[in-house]
Amino acid sequence: MPSAYGLPIWYELITGDVATAKAFYSAIVGWTTSEFPSPDGGMPYTIWNADGVGVGGLLEMADAPAGPGWFGYFHVADVEAKVAANRAAGGATHFGPIDVANVGRIALIADPQGVPLYLMTPDPAMGDQDSTAFSTTLPMRCAWNELTTLDTTTALPFYGDLLGLVSTESMSMGPMGDYLFLEVGETQIGAMMNRSAPEQPVKWTFYFRVADVDTAAEQVAAAGGTIIMGPMEVPGGERIVIALDPTGASVGFVSGGGQ
Does the structure show a pLDDT above 50 at 161?
A: yes
- Give which of 147, 14, 18 is closest to 68, Cα–Cα: 14
pLDDT confidence tier of residue 39, bands split at 50, 70 and 90: low
β 116-122/104-110 pair status: antiparallel
- Return the CATH number of 142-256, one of 3.10.180.10, 3.10.450.50, 2.60.120.10, 3.30.420.40: 3.10.180.10
Query: Would you identify the CATH topology of the domain 8-131?
Result: 2,3-Dihydroxybiphenyl 1,2-Dioxygenase; domain 1 (3.10.180)
Q: Do domains 8-131 and 142-256 have the same CATH topology?
A: yes
Residue 126: the pLDDT is 64
Residue 123: the pLDDT is 85
What is the tens place of the pLDDT at every residue in 52-75?
A: 999 999 999 877 767 899 999 999
Q: What is the mean pLDDT of residues 222-236?
A: 93
pLDDT confidence tier of residue 23, bands split at 50, 70 and 90: very high
pTM of the model: 0.94
Residue 220: the pLDDT is 97
Residue 101: the pLDDT is 81
What is the tens place of the pLDDT at every residue in 189-213?
A: 999 999 988 889 999 999 999 999 9
